[in-house]
Amino acid sequence: MGAISTPLVLVLLFCCLVSVSQAEYLKYKDPKRPLNVRIKDLLKRMTLEEKIGQMVQIERSVATPQVMKKYFIGSVLSGGGSVPETNASAETWIQMVNGIQNGSLSTRLGIPMIYGIDAVHGHNNVYKATIFPHNVGLGVTRDPVLIKKIGDATALEVRATGIQYVFAPCIAVCRDPRWGRCYESYSEDPKIVQAMTEIIPGLQGDISDNSRKGVPFVAGKNKVAACAKHYVGDGGTTKGINENNTVVSYNGLLRIHMPAYHDSIVKGVSTVMVSYSSWNGQKMHANHFLVTDYLKNKLKFRGFVISDWLGIDRITSPSHSNYSYSIQVGVGAGIDMIMVPFNFTEFIDVLTYQVKNNIIPVSRIDDAVRRILRVKFVMGLFENPHADISLVNQLGSEEHRQLAREAVRKSLVLLKNGKSAEKPLLPLPKKAAKILVAGSHADNLGYQCGGWTITWQGGGGNNLTVGTTILDAVKQAIDPATKVVYNENPDSNFVKSNNFSYAIVTVGEHPYAETFGDSLNLTISEPGPSTITNVCGSIQCVVVLITGRPVVIQPYLSKIDALVAAWLPGTEGQGVTDLLFGDYGFTGKLARTWFKTVDQLPMNVGDKYYDPLFPFGFGLSTNTTRY
């Protein structure tokens, strides 16, 4: 082989340098470029395979770096209770998320994935996280400033584990407490739910006044992308049956269930999740009019629309019975990201076939990917794809626990105080000879937190996570000379023979989530009723209800001296005792109507035949005994 001349070498070298410099400068990787320029530049570089991959969200248990690279997967999630290991530390979560991210970054275009998790009352899947009261309690506070602070704290704890996206808030308007997700709703009143959308700027950061309406917004590495859910009408199903049919006129839908979505979009919410439920018989996952025509076109929402878990499968009955049809109408309706979460290759193959055969137009795919990329660019994921350990100390921090304790205080509602108004029982004296603490929920952190806590359905006991039970809070609050006797379910003889000064009885519902919580009778779990009867029939008692909604209480009301609705307060039980013992006064007002009997349901404020046990807005107050 002959020698190559020096001029030719120089020309080749120059060409290589030009080629490298051109390859190094990619508009979509330049944060100084306008958002739409970056989106357009990246989109035109993408193959159909890469675009469809961006539309797929898979479960972490199948999200290996190899899978992320091979299929160009756009997003990963933790299903309820899906964790890298039992009681995983923040560092372990970060290691997992970064490992998955490395797979995404090793693809041809290096598009980072976005990791989502249900953080519906704090970072609730994660051990040692601060668990705030569920929304049913937060609505009672009617305090948007507090709710925004909770959003801010939740964002920090989520980022502490390397995660950038939360499936929250739930802005359902629960119109029937028989619904198993009613505790995820702030109120039966759309105005309260609208006010509580202030959690979105807490999670994402404050959008600027001159921002274009509908454009998603996330203010950097300490914030997360939020998700308004479940679009739309999920809280209005017949008899409160989960995932069922909401029968309401178009005007009724806009008046009751839509207002909070207006507010969420104005506040820059990044994503919207579609509801399993139907509206007047049509599945929301297949509703082009409400998803595309109304949400995207009329409300100008520019973030991405995500399905619920296997949401498109459930378009048909039985589920997944005509998957090709489900994909066609689900994606066609305007859903941009599909929560698969396991059988992703089938989804990819079917959608690819449909696009190549003009069943679904490429323009619909481009719209979906454009929206997904917009959120990723806005979040700064391209500049900061990896999590770091600088925020790990935010998980379960003392500051956040004090905030949760404040939220508990403001969320409790005093429904009764004394057999007569002249003789109130609360606040209780801290100094007494001997007091009784009873009830299945008094010393049970899992019951206190409810569903969506560590696992999907929640659980019982005190080993689930870290927090303060109501029993422990009582022991910390009372005078050291006061003897506390705990008996979960005492008989009346025990109560009468012990000469107690008074009793605190804590009972309620056992944890549940979604369909498992649907209830036609709304009764307190046994042995709650017998504990109330045995204790309150013998001595002065305050009953603290730990429930996700109003429950049947009228049969026991005459026996009870004082009654407190504590809802599902979370890990900070001291917020309950702060009020029982008068360190703070009760201020909470019902954000839900409390029925007399389930036969009255559904019954909401403003109804023609409104005859509640405790009306919407009811709540007694007490004075503080602090000096």
Catalytic positions, written as ranges: 308, 514
Could you give the CA distance from residue 374 to residue 534 in angstroms, rounded to a whole number?
A: 60
Q: What is the end-to-end Cα distance of the chain in Å, rounded?
A: 98
Helices (H), 122-258: 135-141, 144-159, 190-196, 199-204, 250-252
C-alpha torsion angle, residues 308, 379, 147, 92 (rounded to 10): 80
Q: How many Å is the Cα radius of gyration of the chain? A: 27
- Tokens 């970056």 locate to 38
Signed CA dihedral, 38, 40, 41, 42: sign only: positive
**Token pair in block for residue 196:** 């509580």
Q: Give the residue from 573, 615, 569, 627 showing the smallest Cα distance to 590.
A: 615
DSSP letters, 248-295, are --HHHIIIIISHHHHHHHHTT--EEEEPSSEETTEEGGG-HIIIIIII
Q: Report how far residue 413's alpha carbon sits from residue 169's, in angstroms, rounded to the nearest whole number.
A: 23
Helix (H) / strand (E) element for 435: namely strand 434-438
**Separation CA 104–CA 281 (nearest Å):** 40
In this structure, are residues 541 and 426 in contact, taking their beta carbons and an 8 Å threshold? Answer: no
| Number of DSSP helices (H) and strands (E) in the chain, helices first | 21, 17
Nearest-angstrom CA–CA distance, 369 and 363: 10
Place of tokens 């979505």: 261
Query: Among residues 100, 626, 156, 138, which one has the least CA distance to residue 412?
Result: 138
Q: Which helix (H) or strand (E) holds 483?
A: strand 483-487
Instruction: Report how far residue 539's alpha carbon sits from residue 435's, in angstroms, rounded to the nearest whole number.
Output: 10
Dist. CA 470–CA 443, nearest whole Å = 6
CA distance 390 to 392: 6
Distance, C-alpha 473 to centroid of its chain? 26
Q: Are 562 and 409 in contact (CB under 8 A)?
A: no
- DSSP β-bridge partners for residue 229: 170
**Other residues' Cβ atoms within 10 Å of the Cβ of residue 10:** 10
Beta strands at 114-117 and 165-166: parallel, antiparallel or unpaired: parallel
- Taking alpha carbons only, the member of 611, 608, 572, 614 closest to residue 589 is 614
What is the Cα–Cα distance from 194 to 147, expressed in whole angstroms?
12
Cis amide leading into 65 (omega within 30):
no
Tokens (6 digits) for 558 = 């005459």
Q: Which helix (H) or strand (E) holds 438?
A: strand 434-438
User: Which tokens hold the place of 80?
Assistant: 């309820």
Strand residues in 232-329 grouped as ranges (E): 245-246, 271-274, 278-279, 282-283, 304-306
Nearest CA among 389, 335, 382, 368 for reference residue 104: 382
Residues with Cβ within 8 Å of residue 482, at least 6 apart in sequence: 430, 431, 432, 433, 434, 435
Pairing of strands 75-78, 56-59: parallel
